Amino acid sequence: MSGAAARPAGSPGHRCPAMQRGAAALALALLAVLPCCRAHAKPQPHGARDQGNMNVLFIIADDLRTSLGCYGDPLVKSPNIDQLASKSIVFKNAFAQQALCGPSRTSFLTSRRPDTTRLFDHNSYWRTHAGNYTTLPQYLKMNSFVTLSVGKVFHPGIVSNHTDDYPYSWSIPPFHPSTQKYKNAKVCKGPDGKRYANLVCPVDVKEMPEQTLPDIQSTEEAIRLLKKIKSTGNPFFLAVGYHKPHIPLKYPEEFLKLYPLEEIHLAPDPKVPSKLPPVAYNPWTDVRSRDDVRALNISFPYGPIPDDFQVLIRQSYLAAISYMDTQVGRLLNALEEQGLANNTIVVFTSDHGWSLGEHGEWAKYSNFDVATRVPLMFYVPGLTAAFPLPKQRVFPFINPFTGKVGNLPRGSMVESNVELVELFPMVCQLLGLPLPPPCPKPSFHVELCTEGEGMADLWNQGATSVANDESFVFTQYPRPADSPQPNSDLPLLDDIRIMGYSIRSNDYRFTEWVSYNPSTFTANLTDIHAGELYLHMSDPGQDNNLYNNLEFAALVRKLSALIKV
């Protein structure tokens, strides 16, 4: 199963030198905390135990944007994740490579970009479709780690060969909660007392099938594995993937109490921007398919959701975050109770974000920051946080209803732009393992490499200032046509005709939508269908498209050239 095909001409699968500095920012930020580290050496700062004996707990939320207290959202009750952040390095501007579950997860678990995995939908397995790429858990398994998967880690189905890439990536078959099969079942109680398959779905857990919910089951299984694995003698990599706040917004109904309706407001920019190219618009077709939204009879594609229902969606999204946060809190508390908090690295992130009415959009499926920006934090015991004193708690569970929610000490916040494709090599660096080499161009035939370029060399060079550096990150999204279609959000590979390539810097987001040939996996970067340019200083919501503004013509030419490198 080797992907020996050549890189399609015109597909920007590797970053230009300016984009490499986004990877550099991640390495350099951690250098500030790991001053003694060298590539291929086990980091041993003064007072810290050998990182080579560290375990890894990798927690992945689903469709979680940066709506967390530790990211400055005053409304969200996320005390357990905030507590983790207070002991971690937190990356303020981390970005997924595509705002869709399967492509994003495959990308960061293989350290390859979607153009290299050739996965833009949910209908192919990279090992047979592109190349036999080594995954992060597979690499750790090759280095004597016991690797375990609970919940949604790889996207299920064809994307991971219907096995979650077992036995390549995992020591034992992955665990999936039995109640996940009821994901879209008619279990949501309507005003008439009947059951529906709704978008907004607060529930009485005791009335649910099996009297539980998927994320509760995943937490219970992860805790069981922690108790069992600690006695094996091998380091472990435990990946726990939570399903929330992915839709349907199904969560225990008591979490609604945390978010009174009078405190919930519309998005600051709830209307479709006048200069937004039609190809860039996400018509949120999966949201439209839910029973409660379908009953609103909203016109396709630009008809707005009524304001009162927008508020209900936003309320339930936040409630789902708090529900997921309690599961994270239970898991971290168990990690400590098993005596593992002092020798386990904890990584927390999400596969992508989610639009909550910004630009008149809902769901993901775009290149906007709200869809691509994700939380990312690394807890490294003894490095990002001091080893606790005797009887001092590391991760006590915080009840969002009764516990201390705000005013936690803030962790180290890094503002530089970074990418999820950097996760694989960064975990290796923290563990002191040999780094995957940079991918050549093309790399379809190379099993182990990283498209997170520039990290290893910069690690060896030592810390240098990146304060004035222009770091870029790279995202992309496919479309079937220039105008919104019923399949615009989730086009199958054969239906893709346009690819939106986007770069994000400290100052702007720039996107060009270009012709794409799915038969040859080739983008024609000179055939530009539409473009977007947003300046963050004056337009943080990315609402005023300046691509066709003559005042910015020189900047557009410069950024267009960067995409073509």
User: Are residue 333 and residue 229 in the same domain, yes or no?
Assistant: yes
Q: Is residue 395 helix, strand or coil?
A: coil
Q: What CATH number is associated with residue 371?
A: 3.40.720.10
In angstroms, the CA 545 to CA 372 distance is: 18
- Residue 167, preceding peptide bond in cis (omega within 30° of 0): yes
In this predicted structure, what is the pLDDT of residue 28?
A: 52
State whether 513 and 398 are in the same domain. no
Tokens standing for 411?
């962790």
> Nearest-CA neighbor of 81 among 308, 327, 340, 318?
327
DSSP three-state, residue 322: helix
Cα–Cα distances (Å) from 361 to 277, 310, 489, 500, in that order, read: 13, 11, 11, 17
Residue 455 has a pLDDT of 35
**In-domain check, residue 1:** no
The pLDDT, as a whole number, for residue 27 is 52
pLDDT of 405 reads: 59
532 within some domain:
yes
* Number of domains comprising the chain: 2
**89, 94, 97, 98: CA torsion to nearest 10:** 120
DSSP structural state of residue 439: P
Residue 123 lies in a domain: yes
CA–CA distances in Å: residue 294 to residues 251, 275, 277, 285, 287: 21, 28, 26, 10, 9
List % helix, strand, coil for the chain (3-state, nearest 5). Answer: 30, 20, 50
Instruction: Report the distance separating Cα 68 and Cα 75, nearest Å.
Output: 8
Residue 343 lies in a domain: yes
User: Does residue 509 fall inside a structural domain?
Assistant: yes
* Same domain membership, residue 406 and residue 528: no
Give me the percent of the chain exceeding a pLDDT of 70: 86
Integer Cα distance of 17 and 319 in angstroms: 42
Between CA 117 and CA 100 the distance in angstroms is 14
Cis peptide before 442 (omega within 30 of 0): yes
CATH code for position 558: 3.30.1120
Q: Can 428 be counted among the known catalytic residues?
A: no
Domain of residue 440: give its range.
24-34+47-462
Q: Which residue carries 């967390």 as its tokens? A: 68
- Residue 194: exposed, middle, or buried by beta-carbon count in 10 A (0-12, 13-18, 19+)? exposed
Q: Both 527 and 429 in a single domain?
A: no
For CA atoms 518, 519, 525, 526, give the dihedral sign.
negative
Tell whether 196 and 318 lie within a shared domain: yes
Domain co-membership, 434 together with 322: yes
* pTM across the whole model: 0.92
525 within domain boundaries = yes
Ranges assigned E (strand) in 13-160:
55-61, 89-95, 146-151
Residues 442 and 509 in one domain: no
Residues near 392 by Cβ (< 8 Å), separated by ≥ 6?
none
Task: Evaluate whether residue 366 is within a structural domain.
Answer: yes
**Residue 14: inside a domain, yes or no?**
no
> Do 412 and 532 share a domain, yes or no?
no
> What's the pLDDT score for residue 267?
97
pLDDT tens, residue by residue, 451-472: 986 333 333 333 333 444 467 8
pLDDT for the residue numbered 453: 60
Q: Same structural domain for residues 416 and 523?
A: no
Q: Same structural domain for residues 435 and 391?
A: yes
* 506, 377: one domain: no
120-137 tens-digit pLDDT:
999 999 999 999 999 999
Residue that terminates a domain, selected from 438, 462, 486: 462
> Catalytic one among 155, 246, 352, 359?
155
Measured CA to CA, the distance from residue 125 to residue 106 in angstroms comes to 9
Residue 211 is predicted with a pLDDT of 98
Q: To 5 degrees, how large is the angle CA 89–CA 92–CA 95?
A: 110
CA distance 97 to 104: 6
CA–CA gap between residue 320 and residue 397 (Å, rounded): 18
Cis peptide, bond prior to residue 245, ω within 30 of zero? yes
36 is catalytic: no
Pair 376, 349: CB distance under 8 Å: yes
Domain boundary pick from 445, 462, 479: 462
Amino acid at site 106: T
Q: From the first residue on, what is the mean pLDDT of each consecutive set of 10 residues in the chain (565 residues)?
A: 34 43 50 39 34 86 97 95 95 96 98 98 97 98 97 97 98 98 96 96 97 98 95 92 98 98 96 97 98 97 98 98 98 96 97 98 98 96 85 92 69 87 94 94 96 49 41 94 98 98 96 98 97 96 97 96 89
- Answer yes or no: do 141 and 85 share one domain: yes
Cα separation, 49 vs 63, whole angstroms = 35
Active-site choice (37, 101, 439, 449): 101
* Domain boundary residue, one of 462, 481, 505: 462
